[in-house]
Structure 1
Amino acid sequence: MASLTVRQQTNYSGFPKAAELIEIEGAHALEASDRALMNTLLQHAHDSGRLTEADAEWEIPLAHLRTAQSKHGSNDRIKESIRRIRRVEVKIAYTTPEGENRVLESNLLNFTDTSEDDHPGATVQFGIPKRLRLILVRSNRWGRIKCEIAYAMSSKYAIALYEMVSLRANLDRCVEVIDMAKFRELLGVPPGAYDRTDNFIRFVTSPAELEVNGLSDMNVKIELTRKHPRAPAYAVTIAWWRKSEEEFRAASLERGRSKVGRMARLKGRAETPVVIDA
């Protein structure tokens, strides 16, 4: 029997995030800061060892969340991010122990209970819905996610792409073709947004690829396929590979630098995105 995600330990490579949560659909309302913060909450819950407990709830200092996200002195942004996470409803595909494929529609958090005043000991208490916890407990596929990498990214599409390639990092293959509609859902692109291929490249895939290559432990290459130059792209080919030691060090150093001017620095090393006319 394959190892269970819940039994894996957080290590230098990151915390084990279940594939079912990496490949969620319907998360387009979440901003980059929300996705990064949700990873911190998930790691906190996972590392507690209490995901299997029927009535498990967790508590984490707002100061910890604030420090990880920014140097902003108020908890207001953190609280608003937590509200968005609690309100969003996503679709989570999973397989039952009997082998049936199902889709759970659920919130990511079933409640949050936050200190009203911004005193030093202010906390947020939170819970994960029971049915979602059952999926996480049964999960046997995961990607190792470093929270600091997600916090370093400004594009929510970059965070989603980083998690996708992290999930696939240890597969025998290193190339995958994904239907465009499915790819949009996995990245969290809002319905109807960036329908034109050039806009999709400019606002979604280019910044995502740029930040994954410049800030994460993986390299990725995205190619869009369409039937002719004026047709919309109908498929996406993703290739991924691990960084060299030099590239790994460069990404780590960049994460430690100011976000001011970061995109310009990363663009200096980027290549032009590719569109294939089939």
Structure 2
Amino acid sequence: MSSTLSQMTNGSGFPKAAELIEITGTHALEASDRAIFNHLLQTAHDSGRLADPDAEWEISLAALRRASSRHESNDRLRESLRRLRRTDVKVTYISSRTGKRRTMESHLLEFTDTDDEESDSATLQFGIPKRLRLILARSNRWGRIRCEVVYAMTSKYAIALYEKLCLWANLDHCVRTMDIAEFRDMLGVPPGAYERGLDFERKVIDPAALEVNGLSDMSVRIEPQRRHTRASIHAITLCWWRKQGDEFRAAMQERNRSKVGRMARLRGKVEKVDATLQLPPPNGLRDP
């Protein structure tokens, strides 16, 4: 099987190693953090130097900021970079020496170095931890991630679900049932959050499915499993497929539209306004 690093970015996205798609401990990261990290990871991958022991990269702050936000300040961007440096994640991989599963705890970024001045020429220099890059260099499973899809999403759970579906996209079997704890871990739901089934469906499942189905090139159906109607959710069944035809074009068109009113459009709750202009009678006269 070919390596992840040997794959080229194409129209379907950049190849993100399965080890990074399957990381856990990401509950402290926001949707914008995950989107920015994908942008940086694609920059590193496309440079061809991701496996180099001393590799560092540089990118325009303005380009990175404009892809994620309409704000002209870099403050929010710096906050995201700070969280990416400080958040401990767990990366599970197979040791090349022993063939056994191991788990490494790491940050996603080793360092960031930014210009202090707010100008279009300001840049970000960044590095990815060496041990993490060694794992990526040995990776032979990947999912193709479209950065523009991730930037369009506002739910971090939608991003996590989308990336997982991209990893599974070419599997022959497109239905999977998993324990609720595994599903929560996969999406990065904070421990102890949304323990009630209705809260979990409303705050996690529904937003994730809505944005994946409305904005990505994948479709998904999520069905919570209960042993009886009043029981708690004990498992989740996922069914997914690639969009084609009108379904694919509709998602692409929505990504190109303004984010204003997007959630209402995705839910089908946009009201049509009668744009007919009612003019007053001439000379201020009223109809009899």
The TM-score by the shorter chain falls in which range? over 0.9
SS at match of 1:5: coil
2:6 is aligned with 1:7: yes
Identity between Structure 1 and Structure 2 (%) = 65
Q: Please report how far the alpha carbon of residue 229 of structure 1 lies from its aligned counterpart in structure 2 after TM superposition.
A: 2.0
Q: Deviations over 1:5-36 (max 9, x none)?
A: 01100000000000010011000000011110
Partner of 1:36: 35
Separation in 2, partners of 1:182, 1:37: 25
Displacement, 1:172? 1.1
The corresponding residue for 1:258 is: 258
Letter in 2 for 1:234: H
* Deviations 1:149-176, CA, capped at 9 Å, x for gaps: 0000010000000001000000111011
1:88 aligns with 2:87: yes
In the alignment, which residue of structure 1 is the partner of 2:170? Answer: 170
Q: Which runs of 5+ in 2 are unaligned?
A: 270-288
Specify the code of the residue in structure 2 equivalent to 1:247. E
Query: Could you say what secondary structure the match of 2:257 adopts?
Result: coil
Residue equivalent to 1:186:
186
Unaligned 5+ runs, structure 1: 270-278
How far apart are the structure 2 equivalents of 1:48 and 1:66?
20
Per-residue displacement from partner, 1:176-232 (whole Å, max 9, x unpaired)?
111111111110111100011110000000010000000000100111112222222
Determine the C-alpha separation between the residues in 2 that align with 1:254 and 1:62.
26
Question: Any idea what SS the aligned residue of 2:5 has?
Answer: helix
Report the secondary structure of 2:64's partner residue.
helix
* 1:66-123 alpha-carbon deviations (Å, 9 max, x no partner): 1111221111111111111111110011111242101111101111111111122111
Cα distance in 2 for partners of 1:78, 1:247 equals 33
1:46 aligned partner, one-letter code:
H
User: Which residue pairs with 1:157 in the alignment?
Assistant: 157
Partner secondary structure for residue 232 of structure 1: coil
Distance in structure 1 (CA, Å) of the matches to 2:65 and 2:120: 12
* Aligned pairs for 1:207-226 within 5 A: 207-226=207-226
TM-score, length-scaled by structure 1: 0.95
Letter in 1 for 2:64: L
* Aligned residue identity for 1:175: V
Could you list the structure 1 runs, at least 4 aligned residues long, displaced by more than 4 angstroms after superposition.
none
Matches within 5 A, 1:70-85: 70-85=69-84
Please state whether the residue corresponding to 1:74 is helix, strand or coil: coil
* Partner Cα distance (1:115, 1:234) in 2: 49
Paired residue total: 268
Q: Which residue of 2 aligns with 1:68?
A: 67
Deviations 1:117-148 (A, max 9, x none): 11221111111111100110100000000000
TM-score of the pair, normalised by structure 2: 0.91
Identify the residue that residue 134 of structure 2 maps to in structure 1: 134
Letter in 1 for 2:77: I
Of structures 1 and 2, the larger Rg is shown by 2
- Counterpart of 1:47 in structure 2 is 46
CA RMSD of aligned residues (A): 1.0
Identify the residue that residue 99 of structure 1 maps to in structure 2: 99
The amino acid of 2:136's aligned partner reads L
